[in-house]
Each structure stands twice: as C-alpha cells, then as structure tokens.
Structure 1
Amino acid sequence: MGYRRTPEEVAAVRATLADVEFVGGESLSVDFLTRPEIVRDILPAELDPGAEPRLTVQVSRWRSNCVGDFAASAVYVSASHAGVAGDYVLTMFMDDDVPLLFGRDLYGEPKKIGTSTLWRNDGHMSGVLERHGHRLVEIEADLGPDRGPVEVLGRNFNVKYELEPGGGALAGPPTLMMAEFGQRTTVVRKGPATLRLTGTVHDPLDELEVVELRDAVYVETGMKATCVPLGAMDADAFLPLALGRSDYWPALGTARLPG
C-alpha cells in the first residue's frame, strides 16, 4: 500500500469501481414545479428540459462498498438527452471528502461539502442541509403507510470538465456523462410536505422558485451504480454553468498582498 499502487492494488480498485453499490439508504425527497425559463437557464445546452419543469430536492444517508458511510443532499432537474429521460444534477453536498472525490472525479457530479441530517418521529420526517452555518434546505413531511417494495432505474446526467488555471476557460471540451442506478427499494412512504430553500452567494438555492409543491417521498433502498460518457459538449457555452458549480471565489477573499 502506498502512493504508487501495485498491480494487485490497481486490479482491486478496478474490481471495486466496476461493481459500485450503495446500500442501507434512507432518502427523503420532494418534487416541485418551477417556471420553464428557470429550468432552461440552469440546464446545459446539450440537455432538453423534461416533460414538465420539475426539480427534486433530496436529503439522504447511505452505506457503500467503495466510499464508506455518508450523508448527502442534492437538487435534481428533470431533463432528457436524445430522447432518454433522466435528471440533471444541479448541485450536491457530501459530509465527507471521500464520497465527494468519488462522485466528482469519476462521474462528474457537482459536489461540495455540507452537513445533511434526517430525523424521524413515527410518521413525521425531517431533512436538513447545512453549509458554512447556513441552513439551505428544510423538508418536513407527514408520511403515509408503506407502499413498497419496488424496483426502479434512476438516471442522472452530469458533466466532467477541467478549468484552466486562470478560471476564464475550460481546458478542452467537457464531457456529458450518464449515471444509472438500479434500485431495490424495500420501503416507500409518501405524504404532504413543506419545503424551505434559502441561499447564499455560493449556493443560491433560493433562486429556484417553487410554483407547485408535491408530496414528499421517503424510501429505504439500495442500488448498483454505473456511468458512461455520452459525448463532448460546447466548452464556451458550459463555462458559466461550470463556474456556477463552484463557490463564488471573489466573495472568499480574506487578505491581499501589500502594494
């Protein structure tokens, strides 16, 4: 074991990443409709808006065979590519650097560090995302009876890219990625929900206008993950969205050199 992996260790890494599993998952999510122009503005040009201007906010916790245990939150946007429906991952928050690096480096997921928490009190469920002292997401739901089990295939669109050191351009064309998640869900509970989104200059979730809020969905699930590249994208067109995935660096200055 070391900074130069042995052939046996390389083979072990390949075997693990070829059979990725996330298990013991608990997820509380809520869908809402927003204005169509908001969806078009936050989607890359290579993706079409979904059948309706739907966004999904999710707070969850997981175990895995590759990145340990972690809690996460995410915002998804209904989208499609070449007639294949899925969700574009607008932003994601992990509570540890290991799942952050896995998803960002391998799948192109737009991950940041944040604290996600789920609480359950009989039929009432709460999900909260906090980052840098700001509570960005609050979901409250009153859940009905279990409707599981069910098997579903989830599909996410992400983008892999590199910024040039000066930040003014991308280092080559980005790559549109598609991740698929074969889920075996044992518990499904639904019920009315409330959703509160706040924002900062780094995480402007409050700009996602809620026009129609739908019921919350709580699941207990496990899933296998795979990911494939779909093709190159327009680097200039994606640059503003790439910079929007990061924190706003001009607001993070704490000092300057004299003179």
Structure 2
Amino acid sequence: MGFRRSPEEVAAVQATLADVEFVGGESLSVDFLTRPETIRDILPAELDPGAEPRITVQVSRWRSNCVGDFAASAVYVSASHDGVAGDYVLTMFMDNDVPMLFGRDLYGEPKKIGTSTLWRNDGHMTGVLERRGTPLVRIEADLGPDRGPTEVVGRNFNVKYALEPGAQALAGPPTLMMAEFAQRTTVVRKGPATLELGGTVHDPLDSLEVVELRDAVYVETGMKATCVPLGPMDADAFLPLALGRSDHWPALSTARLPV
C-alpha cells in the first residue's frame, strides 16, 4: 500500500465501488408536507417538484462493504426528472469522514459531519441529529407492529460540481446524478411522530415549514447502490444552491484585520 496504488490495488478499488452494499441498516424517518413555493425554491431548475410538496427527514445507522460502519441523517425533497420520480438530497450528515468523502466525491451528495443517534425503548423510537453542539433534528415515534418484509427501489438526485477559487463561479457545468438503491427491508413499523427542526446560519433546517406531519416509519434494511450521470446543468443557476450546500463562510471568520 502506498500513495500510488498498484494495478492490483486499483482493480480492487474499482471492484469494490462497482458493487456497493449497505447492510444492517436501521432507519427512522418522517415525512411532512410544506408549501409548494418552498419546494420550488430549494430544487435545482432541472428537477420538477414531486406529486406533492413532501420533505422526508431521516436518522439512520449502517454497516457497509466500502466505508465501514457509520451513522447518518438526511433531508430529502420529493422531485422528478423526465418523469422519473425520486428525492433530491437537500443535505446529509455523516459521523465520520470516510462515508462523507465517498458520497460527496462519487455521487455528489451534499454531506457534512454531524452526530446521528437512534434510541429504541420497546415501541418508542427516538432519532437525533446534532452538529457542532446544535440540535438540528429530533424525531419521536410510537411504533406499531411489524408489517413484514418488502423490496423497493429508491432513487436520489444529487449534483456533482466544483467551485472556482473565490466562489465567483462553478468550474464548468455541474452534473445531475441519479443514485438507485435496491432495498431489501425485513422489518417495517409505523406510528405517530413528533418532529423538531433546529437550525443555524450553516444548517437552516428550521426554515423548512411543517404544514402537515405524517407518521414515522422505522425499517431494518439492506441495499445495493448504483449511480449514473443524467446530464449537465446550468452552472449560473445552480451557484446559489451550491453555496447553500456549504457552511456560510463569512460567519466562520476568526481573523481580525489590522486597523
């Protein structure tokens, strides 16, 4: 092993990343409806809003064949592209840098570092996301009986891009990506939930208005992941959304200029 991978090591990396699998997953999620104008504002122009103005908040933990064990949280926005329904990933939080770099570099997922925790007490489930000491998500759910195994295919839309130094523009057109997840779910439990969304200038989850809250869903699941590019996007139009995926750099200044 070294900083220059051997041909055998390159082949091993490529084989691993061509057969990505996440296993032993536990996920607590809750959907809510917000205002249609909110959905349009946070979606890239190349994506259409979904059938209803739905946002999904999820807290989960996983094992994998490529990035080790990790805990994660995410916010998804119902969307479609050329008639194919899926979810646009608004923001994601990983508990370490390995899954963060994997998703960001390969799939274009908008990942940051955050602490995600799941607790279960019989039929009651709690999911919490914190970042830099600020609570951003808290889901409380009272779960009903197991509804049995299912198999589904989930689709996520992401964007791969690079910023020019100084963030005056993107370094070329961004690429719209679609990830597919073939899920084999062994346990499904649903029940009434409460949802608290916090926020900071860097992570304004509290700006997402909850108009109608739905039941929570808890699953135990595994999934195979694949991802393909869908095409180039308008760089100028996406720049404000690209900057919204990062922390707000002006608020992170610790320097004092001489007077």
Q: How big is the shift at 1:245? A: 0.1
Q: Distance in 2 between matches of 1:168 and 1:30?
A: 37
Letter in 1 for 2:249: W
The runs of at least 4 aligned residues of structure 1 exceeding 3 Å deviation read: none
Match in the other structure for 1:171:
171
Output the aligned Cα RMSD: 0.6
Letter in 1 for 2:205: L
Letter in 2 for 1:81: H
Letter in 1 for 2:258: P
Percent of pairs identical after alignment? 90
Match in the other structure for 1:17:
17
Q: How big is the shift at 1:257? A: 4.3
Q: Gaps spanning 5+ residues in structure 2: where?
A: none
Q: Secondary structure at the match of 1:162?
A: coil
Q: How big is the shift at 1:140? A: 0.0
Q: Distance in 2 between matches of 1:168 and 1:205?
A: 26
Match in the other structure for 2:82:
82
Aligned: 1:59 with 2:59: yes
Q: Secondary structure at the match of 1:216?
A: strand
Match in the other structure for 1:111:
111
Q: How big is the shift at 1:148? A: 1.7
Q: Which TM-score applies when normalising by structure 2?
A: 0.99
Q: Distance in 2 between matches of 1:14 and 1:134?
A: 38
Q: How big is the shift at 1:256? A: 3.3
Q: Distance in 1 between matches of 2:243 and 2:168?
A: 9
Letter in 2 for 1:210: V
Q: Distance in 1 between matches of 2:5 and 2:149?
A: 41
Aligned: 1:7 with 2:7: yes
Letter in 2 for 1:166: G
Letter in 2 for 1:217: V
Q: Secondary structure at the match of 2:239?
A: helix
Q: Distance in 2 between matches of 1:257 and 1:208?
A: 36
Q: Distance in 2 between matches of 1:36 and 1:114?
A: 28
Q: Distance in 2 between matches of 1:23 and 1:168?
A: 41
- C-alpha deviations, 1:126-146, integer Å up to 9, x for none? 000000110000000000000
Q: Distance in 2 between matches of 1:162 and 1:258?
A: 32
Q: Secondary structure at the match of 1:90?
A: strand
Equivalence map 1:132-147=2 (5 Å): 132-147=132-147
- C-alpha deviations, 1:153-191, integer Å up to 9, x for none? 000000000000111110000000000000000000000
Match in the other structure for 1:120:
120
- C-alpha deviations, 1:65-116, integer Å up to 9, x for none? 0000000000000000000000000000000000000000000000000000
Q: How big is the shift at 1:258? A: 2.8
Match in the other structure for 2:72:
72
Q: Distance in 1 between matches of 2:180 and 2:24?
A: 18
Aligned: 1:244 with 2:244: yes
Q: Distance in 1 between matches of 2:256 and 2:170?
A: 26
Match in the other structure for 1:198:
198
Match in the other structure for 1:210:
210
Match in the other structure for 1:185:
185
Q: Distance in 1 between matches of 2:141 and 2:56?
A: 14
Q: Distance in 2 between matches of 1:76 and 1:257?
A: 40
Letter in 1 for 2:68: G
Q: Secondary structure at the match of 2:73?
A: strand
Q: How big is the shift at 1:14? A: 0.5
Q: Distance in 2 between matches of 1:182 and 1:19?
A: 12
Q: Which TM-score applies when normalising by structure 1?
A: 0.99
- C-alpha deviations, 1:27-52, integer Å up to 9, x for none? 00000000000000000000000000
Letter in 2 for 1:202: H
Match in the other structure for 1:98:
98
Letter in 2 for 1:199: G
